[in-house]
Amino acid sequence: MPRLFFSIEIPVQIKQRLLQVRAPVAGARWQSAAQLHLTLLFLGPVSDDRVAEVCAEVRALAMPAFDLEVSGIGCFGQPASPRNLWAGVSPCDSLLALQAALKDVLGGLGFEFDQRAFRPHVTLARFKKQRGSVAALLDDHQSTNFGAFPVQEFVLYQSTQGGGGSVYTVLERFALEG
């Protein structure tokens, strides 16, 4: 069964700026340009026969286009031993409404989701066992503005595990209004 998630793609020029954050940090598995995105909602494994149903329900959503800004970096976990390093995304009302609408419509189809609050971000690096400190990176980039961009669509990705990390394939694009 394919592993699916909804996401917003990041423009190439912002990805290039995000990639410049890379630094030698013990245990960091840096994301490639192709892996940089903003996850809206993770569905997990979905049977092939349900993918069409998911897409049909999501196509019926009427949500407005909006602008996002990517700025600053932070981490999940302590800076001395992080789990993830991420770039911040301005949590505008339209972004939060889109994520909530997806969660609502897909919850109606029986999908269950993590109950933690949605914290929009772009994952830059993941850490496993050996974790080096990212404190210096946080200091250097806490107020870095990576850019703003219009969000006119979101995508349904299929995630496939590969030797260099996950590979994401767009299954469908969903236009926003306006």
Q: List residues with catalytic annotation.
A: 37, 121
Cβ neighbours for 71, distance < 8 A, ≥ 6 positions apart = 87, 88, 90, 143, 144, 145, 146
Cα angle 120, 138, 124; round to 5: 50
- Distance of CA 131 to CAs 72, 74, 75, 79, Å? 21, 15, 12, 9
CB 17 within 8 A of CB 85: no
Across the strands, what pairs with 67?
Answer: 150
